[in-house]
Structure 1
Amino acid sequence: MEKQCGKSIFSGTFTQLLASVSGSLFAISDGMTYGWTAPMLPYLVSEESHIKTTKEEVEWLETILMVGSFCGLPTTIYLVDKIGRRKSLLLAALASLVGWIIIGIANNMIYLYVVRFMFGMIGNMSFVSMPMYIAEIAESKIRGFLASIVYLQMLVGFVIVYSVGPYLPFYTTPVVGAVVLIFELLIFWWVPESPYYLLFKNKPDEARTSLQYFRPGKDVEIELKEITRAIERQKSEKGRIQDIILVKSNRKAILIMTVLNGGQHIVAISVILMNLHVILNSAGSIYMDSAHAGIVFSVIMLISAKVASFQVDKYGRKALLLVSTVLTGFCLLSIAIYFNLKLTYYDVRSVSWIPIVSVMIYACTFKLGLGIVPIVITAEIFPAKMKAMGMTIADAMYVIGAIISVQLYIWLESAYGMHVPFYVFSIGSFSIAIFIVYYVPETKGKTLEEIQLLLKGEKYVPSHKSDPLLTADI
């Protein structure tokens, strides 16, 4: 029965799968980039390092990635519409390839700073371009599955960098990253631009050819006309930037996404991903070394994210968010208490398993809700005419939250000790849980029109569900 179901879902979608998998290989490289500092910071400040540097200098490698991502927002918005989704992805892959080559041969911190800044800009471009590309090529029956590939590939990148970084020479990680990107360039080069974008640029013949590629053996004329009508409607519904603030539903949507996107970092995800080995080394556990712990941590995140992608429509967005933030808060609190006891010279050897267990549970609980649900809600909570603008602002909040959390950790850890930032992050997690209870609506099973009325505080009348105008994507 399952085989038959699987066959009916994926039948005739090979070209869509090929485009989605090959085009999202950058996410493996991006995951490696994001987690690269965890195994590399201990090496760079050690006596064996081929680059002479200091602890203060290497800490900027974390922040500069986020700064690059923030600075890349205007470039991303321009290129995605100017040269298209496919060319933006190819350009980002080529630039990333050059970046890994530079890291592999770098003998000075300046090179690492420049490349990390560039990686931030590139990652931003890729993570905006690819979801748009997938949405525009995919059939509705597998759109959700294809969209999840990007984030699962990113977690594969974490598994790779945590597995390779601590054990093999410095240049090994750049070589792996470069090979992944070469495969993307070789395969994705032959994949066409999305038919949606080609029609938007008034190229109907190229759009027809593209749609025929993604719908092999099918008559595409009806779908082509539907896409054309959708584009004409959206061109007539250009949203004003001030409507983000002036319209109540948009204002509430921005607040929700600011808290959820920024909140992912206020609960320390960037801090832990970038400093996992340093944190566990400081904990002094006798049960598992930090290198092995990093591998287990990344694998748990990957499995948890996969499970969450199947459960978000079953249990709802709000329930997963609430469970995730509360459990994550307790994990962070446990780590904080452990480091607090260690600072007071309490003999923690018998309980040195606490940081490792807490970090592993954290990997599971974070990706179960807070690490994946905001991605789903972002696409639901903004009306069509404000979606691009709203998602860009939401992405900016994500980057700002990352910068704040990393800098907060560096300052508090240096000034007061490892326990203080984790107390702050645990308080942040519980605070977000309270916000979710009272302010985040449940969007499971609701049409986009219902969600907009919910945000506006208006009552939805079920009898109108038969009206096509009511259930349309506004």
Structure 2
Amino acid sequence: MGVERGKYASPEGSKSWEYLASGACSVLMFCIGSSIGWNSPSSVKLTAEDSPRRMSSAELSSLMSLIAIGQMLAPPLNSLIVDRIGRKNTILIGGLPLAFGWCLIAMADGVPVLYVARFLAGLSQGIAYCACYMYVGEVASRELRGVANVLLMLMLNLGMLVAFGLGPLMSIVSNAWLNLALSAAFLAVFSLMPESPYYLLMRDRHEEAEAVLEKIRGRSDVTEELEQIEHSLRSLRKQKESGGGGGGKLCGLLLLDRPSLKAIWIIGLFSVTHHFGGYMAVIMYGQRIFRDLGIGSILSDHSASVINGLVQLVSVALTSLLVERWGRKPLIALSGLLSGSCNLFVAAYFCFPEAFAPYSLMALLALLLLVFAFNCGLLVVQGILISELFAPEVKALGVCLVTMNGGLLFTLGTKLYLTVVDTWHYGHSPPFFCFAVVCWSVTGLLLWITPETKGKSLLEIQKSL
């Protein structure tokens, strides 16, 4: 999208285009959230006796893991294109597999077609996680960067809530057509948004970068910020040139440069808590866990899932108010402490069912508090740090590596949970005991090595690593 210099500028400045660009980008995260939320209600329908597409437990387990495999394989594609065609075009490309996947689900007449559809959804999810945070981190100003990144998580959770609520009420085919329409709406809206000024400067498109920066900042004088970006890019290019040439050089810069390597470890530790700290188990298998709590006389599985979605939405909205006031590290500490405690209570409930039988409602509340705590810290802060910790020159490769790692952990966690609970017949208790240990130990490590990034420019953050 071409932008004329000065056309959208005013001396006092405006945040309108920052909000518009971040909001339009977040529509893709809503679509991804709806795709993730599809798993819980659809798993019940696909295994029902009267389902026209009935699946076995083994087939369902494979279906659930394919979205993670797609997510794991997406980052290499992202790293190849995001610095060549730009952040904006990469995000647009990321919406296409998701839309095609919904077409397949709407017209599917067999299990293999569903497998392909969910793999494509995972591909879009992986691209979105890489490119959306990168785009928002480079378009939003330092004052709004934290809130803009929280908006991505807010829309992701809103998409899951809608899926939890509408999924049981609609047929799988009708649900697929609705999601296809949403994906098409995203492609139409985001095509009108500006490109990242960081990318434009990386491609030596200086006049266009200045015009875009004027537009998204809403003011005529962006010289200081433009010079800061150029200085950052020049420094990184010198580092890259001093290390050799080509992709191997860039990989060496990422893996041997202390700030970049530290960023990989930090983001990787967050991923460990997500997939082995209880959160993804509740998201993927929540309806079954709620059923096994024995709360049917109080609340239906469907109602519990909808409440779960509401809790996620409210917690992310609350985080948007706290993230720039409290900073990142206090949220990490609070989130890790609460999550571990909730996991321990749920583990004890399943370990001693007779003794804890009168406390089934408290166990449900513990699961909901677990989701709340994750969304208030460990989950949202990771998204913010992905956009903040990596320098622009290595961001594409860095985000690629951490997203692949997240996809691998997602696959392992999804399969391992059902293996422990069903195949090995250990039930829910051992996993939740392990989740508690993971939450507490990894949170301690994160507090030790993670820098506070609140109110800092991207260059200042690099110096603090």
Scaled by the length of structure 1, the TM-score of the pair is 0.84
Deviation at 1:101, TM superposition (A): 1.8
Post-superposition Cα deviations, 1:309-367, rounded to whole Å, max 9, x if no partner, equal 3323433433322221221112122222222234xxx3865332133211111121111
Residue 149 of structure 2 aligns with which residue? 147
1:191 equivalenced with 2:180 (yes/no): no
Residue 75 of structure 1 aligns with which residue? 77
Residue 174 of structure 1 aligns with which residue? 176
Residue 312 of structure 1 aligns with which residue? 323
State the alpha-carbon separation in 2 of the partners of residues 14 and 307 from structure 1.
22
State the alpha-carbon separation in 2 of the partners of residues 387 and 137 from structure 1.
14
Return closer, same or farther for 1:335/1:221 CA change in 2, 3 Å cut-off: closer
Return closer, same or farther for 1:413/1:124 CA change in 2, 3 Å cut-off: same
> The residue matched to 1:107 in structure 2 has which SS?
coil
Deviation at 1:381, TM superposition (A): 4.1
State the alpha-carbon separation in 2 of the partners of residues 251 and 211 from structure 1.
30
Return closer, same or farther for 1:383/1:199 CA change in 2, 3 Å cut-off: closer
Residue 27 of structure 2 aligns with which residue? 25
Residue 273 of structure 1 aligns with which residue? 283
Residue 356 of structure 1 aligns with which residue? 364
1:326 equivalenced with 2:334 (yes/no): no
* Range that drifts further, 269-278 or 12-21: 12-21
The residue correspondences of 1:230-269 to structure 2 (distance < 5 A) are: 230-238=232-240, 240-269=250-279
Residue 244 of structure 2 aligns with which residue? none
> The residue matched to 2:378 in structure 1 has which SS?
coil
Match of 1:433 among 426, 440, 443: 443
Post-superposition Cα deviations, 1:145-185, rounded to whole Å, max 9, x if no partner, equal 32322111111101100111122222233233222222212
Return closer, same or farther for 1:382/1:199 CA change in 2, 3 Å cut-off: closer
> The residue matched to 2:83 in structure 1 has which SS?
helix
Return closer, same or farther for 1:453/1:29 CA change in 2, 3 Å cut-off: closer
Residue 395 of structure 1 aligns with which residue? 403
State the alpha-carbon separation in 1 of the partners of residues 187 and 92 from structure 2.
7
> The residue matched to 1:352 in structure 2 has which SS?
helix
Gapped regions of structure 1 (runs ≥ 5): 1-7, 456-474
Q: Is the 8 A contact 1:85 1:194 kept in 2?
A: yes
Q: Is the 8 A contact 2:336 2:378 kept in 1?
A: yes
Deviation at 1:144, TM superposition (A): 2.9
State the alpha-carbon separation in 1 of the partners of residues 420 and 87 from structure 2.
41
Return closer, same or farther for 1:272/1:195 CA change in 2, 3 Å cut-off: same
Letter in 1 for 2:409: G
Q: Is the 8 A contact 2:147 2:324 kept in 1?
A: no
* Range that drifts further, 376-385 or 111-120: 376-385
Return closer, same or farther for 1:58/1:375 CA change in 2, 3 Å cut-off: same
Residue 106 of structure 2 aligns with which residue? 104
Deviation at 1:94, TM superposition (A): 2.8
Return closer, same or farther for 1:453/1:191 CA change in 2, 3 Å cut-off: closer
Return closer, same or farther for 1:71/1:58 CA change in 2, 3 Å cut-off: same
Letter in 2 for 1:267: G
Q: RCO higher in 1 or 2 (8 Å CA, sep ≥ 6)?
A: 2
Letter in 1 for 2:286: L
Match of 1:287 among 292, 295, 298: 298
The residue correspondences of 1:111-122 to structure 2 (distance < 5 A) are: 111-122=113-124
Deviation at 1:54, TM superposition (A): 0.3
State the alpha-carbon separation in 2 of the partners of residues 126 and 24 from structure 1.
10
Q: Is the 8 A contact 1:36 1:274 kept in 2?
A: no
Residue 126 of structure 1 aligns with which residue? 128
Match of 1:422 among 424, 432, 435: 432
> The residue matched to 1:52 in structure 2 has which SS?
coil
Deviation at 1:400, TM superposition (A): 2.2
> The residue matched to 2:239 in structure 1 has which SS?
coil
Residue 469 of structure 1 aligns with which residue? none
Deviation at 1:219, TM superposition (A): 5.3
State the alpha-carbon separation in 1 of the partners of residues 448 and 221 from structure 2.
48
State the alpha-carbon separation in 2 of the partners of residues 310 and 367 from structure 1.
13
Q: Is the 8 A contact 1:408 1:421 kept in 2?
A: no
State the alpha-carbon separation in 1 of the partners of residues 149 and 268 from structure 2.
22
Post-superposition Cα deviations, 1:404-439, rounded to whole Å, max 9, x if no partner, equal 211220110111222222222222223223434555
C-alpha root-mean-square deviation of aligned residues, in Å?
2.9
* Range that drifts further, 441-450 or 27-36: 441-450
Q: Is the 8 A contact 1:237 1:385 kept in 2?
A: no
Q: Percent of aligned positions with the same letter in both sequences?
A: 27
State the alpha-carbon separation in 2 of the partners of residues 210 and 324 from structure 1.
37
State the alpha-carbon separation in 2 of the partners of residues 245 and 119 from structure 1.
30
Gapped regions of structure 2 (runs ≥ 5): 1-9, 241-248
Residue 67 of structure 2 aligns with which residue? 65
> The residue matched to 1:391 in structure 2 has which SS?
helix
Post-superposition Cα deviations, 1:251-278, rounded to whole Å, max 9, x if no partner, equal 4443333222222211122221111111
Q: Is the 8 A contact 2:391 2:462 kept in 1?
A: yes
State the alpha-carbon separation in 1 of the partners of residues 231 and 451 from structure 2.
31
* Range that drifts further, 375-384 or 441-450: 441-450
State the alpha-carbon separation in 1 of the partners of residues 389 and 227 from structure 2.
27
Scaled by the length of structure 2, the TM-score of the pair is 0.86
Q: Is the 8 A contact 2:142 2:456 kept in 1?
A: no
- The size of the alignment, in residue pairs, is 444
* Range that drifts further, 76-85 or 168-177: 168-177
Residue 385 of structure 2 aligns with which residue? 377
